[in-house]
Structure 1
Amino acid sequence: MHTTLIDAATLAQHIDDPQWVVLDCRHDLLNPAFGREAFAAGHLPGAQFASIDDDLSGPKTGAGSTFRGRHPLPERAALIETLRRFGIDDTTQVVAYDAHGGMYAARLWWLLRSIGHEAVAVLDGGLPAWQAAGQPVSTDVAPRAPGGITERPSLTRAVSVDDVVANLSTGGFTVVDARASDRFRGENETIDPVGGHIPGAKNRFFKDNLGADGKFKPAAQLKEEFAPLFASPSSAVMQCGSGVTACHNLLALEVAGMPGAALYPGSWSEWCAAPERPVATGA
C-alpha cells in the first residue's frame, strides 16, 4: 500500500494493474479549461481526469447563500459518488498526479483520506518525472466499471471558519498559510483581490516542500523545516487561498512523519469574503 508518495518507476510497474486507479488533477487557477485540455493532449496511460472545480470541490455557497470559498469541500455523498465513477473500491490503490509539484494532486490525496481511504499516493514529481523516466503518455480514454468505495473513519481533521475566528482569541492552534509570500503579504491583487492573511498566521509556501528536481524533499529535511512553525502537528491548521494547496503542506507533514495537523477548507477566499473578519498585511 502506498499512502503518501510514489515514484515513477514503481507506478510504471502497476500502470496496467486493474486494482490501481490513476487520476490526473492538472489545473490552472486563472484558466479553468487548462486541466481538461492538457489531459486531452496527453496523460498517463489509463488515467482519468479529476477536475478540481467539478469533481474535487463542492458548491461555493451554503445555507443562506453564505460564501464557502473558491473550492469548498464536496459533500461526502457527492464525493463518494464521484470516486465510484472513477472505478474506486475499498481496496483500490489510487495514484494522483499533476504537473505542478503535487499542488493539486494533494487535494485528491486529502479527500480520499477524509473518507478513510488510506491507499492513495501522489506521484512524486508528477508528469515531468514520469516523462523524464522515459515513460509514455497517451490520448486514449478507457472508461472503467463503477467502483464501490464506502465511507470509513476519517484519517483527517478539518476546522471551520468559526473555529478560526475563535482562535484569534484563544490561540489554541497555529495557522500556517501555504500561499506564496507576495499573496501572504497582500501584494498580489490578480489572485487575491483582498490581500493579506489571517492575523497570527505563519507562512510556509507549498513549493518550499520541493527540491530543485520538483520532488519532495527528504523526510528529515521537511521535519526540520516545519518544526519551528508550531508546537506540535496537532496544534497546527493548514490553509491557503481556497483549501487546495494547503493539502500539499499536509502531505509534506505526513512524509516528514508529523501527522495530525488539520485543514481549514475555506481558507483565505472564505475568510476575506466577510469584511468583519480582521486582515493582516506585510510579513
Structure 2
Amino acid sequence: MNSIVSKQWLLARMYEPDLIIVDCRFQLGSPKAGQDAFKASHIPGAIYLDLEEDLSAPIGEHGGRHPLPDPQTLAQRLGQVGISNSSRIVVYDDQGGMYASRLWWLLRWLGHDNVYVMDEGFTSWKEAGYPVTDANPVQVPSTFQYSVCKDMVVDMQTVRLNLDNPSILLVDSREPARYQGLQEPIDAKAGHIPGAINSLWKNVLNDQVTNAWKNIEQLREQLAPISEAIDSGKEVIVYCGSGVSACPNVLALYRLGYEQVKLYSGSWSDWISYEGNPVATGEE
C-alpha cells in the first residue's frame, strides 16, 4: 500500500486545493531546531507541527517520553492549521521519515487514512532545486472530526500480560546496542522487553540514497521475519524508545499489506517506568 510519495509527485500536486503539506522536522535534544529550520526555509504552503508541542501529550509518571496526545486536543490542533476530513496530507521531515511517520500513524489512529510521507525529505527537495520559502503559510481553520481506531495501539498492561504468549511477536525498533543493553543514552535502564526481537527502524531506508525508503521488494526481504510471523497467525506489536521511531517500521509493514500491526505507544520509556517489569539483555 503506497503511503510513500516522491518529491516529484508532490511537486506536481503541491498547489491542489485539498492538499495539505506538513513539516515535521525535529531534533531530539534540541527541541526548537525543527521550528527554527522551518522558519528559515520550507516547502511553500507547508505548515509546521512539532513532535513535542503538537504530536505528544505532556510527560507524566507513565506513558513514556512522548505520550500519545489526547485525541480531541490533537483533532482541534489539526483543524486550527486547516486540516479537515477531506484533506489529502503529505508529511515530510529530514530524518528519514521518523517524525513524519509519527504524524502518519496519528492521523490513521484518528481515522484519517488519506495521508502520505514524502520520500527523501526536505534537504533532497531543496537540493533538487524545487521551490522553498521562508514565508509564513496562510492557515484557514477547518474542522477535523475523529474516530479513534483503538485496535492500532496497546498499553503496558497488554504487553505484560502477553509476555509468554507464543502468538504475539514483540519488535524493538531501536539501535542494536540499546536493545542488547550495551548502552542507553536516553532512558534510565538498558535492555529490552523480554521476548522481543530487534529490527532497527533505519533498516527500512535505502543504503544508497540518503533518507530514501527501500522499495517493496527490499522491504519484503528486510522484514521477512516479521511478515512471516504475521502470515503464520501471530500478532505483531512494535515499540521503540518512546513510540516515535517504531512508526517507520509500522509504516513499512503497512506498505507490505499488513495493516493489523499494533504500536506499543509508551514503548521502552513507559515499560521501565513501572517497578517490577522485567528487563532482558543480549540477543533473543
Output the TM-score relative to the length of structure 2: 0.93
Q: Is the 8 A contact 1:43 1:138 kept in 2?
A: yes
Aligned in 2, Cα 1:97/1:155: closer, same or farther, shift over 3 Å?
farther
User: Within 2, Cα distance between the matches of 1:28 and 1:156?
Assistant: 30
User: Within 1, Cα distance between the matches of 2:118 and 2:277?
Assistant: 37
Give the one of 213, 217, 220 matched to 2:217: 220
1:238 match = 238
Q: Which moved more, 1:89-98 or 1:17-26?
A: 17-26
User: Within 2, Cα distance between the matches of 1:91 and 1:123?
Assistant: 19
1:232-254 deviation per Cα after TM superposition (whole angstroms, max 9, x unaligned): 07610110000011111011111
Q: How big is the alpha-carbon RMSD for the aligned residues of Structure 1 and Structure 2?
A: 1.7
User: Mapping of 1:58-77 within 5 angstroms?
Assistant: 58-61=57-60, 66-77=61-72
Question: Are 1:177 and 2:176 counterparts?
Answer: no
Q: Is the 8 A contact 2:71 2:148 kept in 1?
A: no
Question: Are 1:94 and 2:94 counterparts?
Answer: no
Q: Is the 8 A contact 1:110 1:156 kept in 2?
A: no
SS in 2 for 1:175: strand
User: Within 1, Cα distance between the matches of 2:183 and 2:39?
Assistant: 31
User: Within 2, Cα distance between the matches of 1:154 and 1:3?
Assistant: 20
How far did 1:258 drift?
A: 2.5
1:46-94 deviation per Cα after TM superposition (whole angstroms, max 9, x unaligned): 1111100010011222xxxx42111011111011001101201111011
Aligned in 2, Cα 1:135/1:155: closer, same or farther, shift over 3 Å?
farther
Identity across the alignment (%): 39
User: Mapping of 1:193-204 within 5 angstroms?
Assistant: 193-204=188-199
Q: Is the 8 A contact 2:181 2:281 kept in 1?
A: yes
How far did 1:26 drift?
A: 0.9
User: Within 2, Cα distance between the matches of 1:153 and 1:23?
Assistant: 21
How far did 1:155 drift?
A: 8.8
Which amino acid in 2 is paired with 1:99?
A: D
SS in 2 for 1:22: strand
Q: Which moved more, 1:133-142 or 1:100-109?
A: 133-142
Output the TM-score relative to the length of structure 1: 0.93
Unmatched segments (≥5 aa) in structure 2: none
User: Within 2, Cα distance between the matches of 1:171 and 1:96?
Assistant: 36
1:113-163 deviation per Cα after TM superposition (whole angstroms, max 9, x unaligned): 011111100001111231233212211112311111211463961111000
User: Within 1, Cα distance between the matches of 2:37 and 2:71?
Assistant: 28
Question: Are 1:154 and 2:153 counterparts?
Answer: no
User: Within 1, Cα distance between the matches of 2:63 and 2:19?
Assistant: 33
How far did 1:203 drift?
A: 0.7
SS in 1 for 2:217: helix
SS in 1 for 2:105: helix
How far did 1:104 drift?
A: 0.6
1:13 match = 12
SS in 1 for 2:182: coil
Unmatched segments (≥5 aa) in structure 1: none
1:203-256 deviation per Cα after TM superposition (whole angstroms, max 9, x unaligned): 111110010212111112212221213520761011000001111101111122
Q: Which moved more, 1:222-231 or 1:9-18?
A: 222-231
Q: Which moved more, 1:214-223 or 1:151-160?
A: 151-160
User: Where has structure 1 moved over 4 Å in runs of 4 or more?
Assistant: none
1:158-199 deviation per Cα after TM superposition (whole angstroms, max 9, x unaligned): 111000000113333111111111111123332233111101
1:30 match = 29
SS in 2 for 1:278: coil
1:106 match = 101
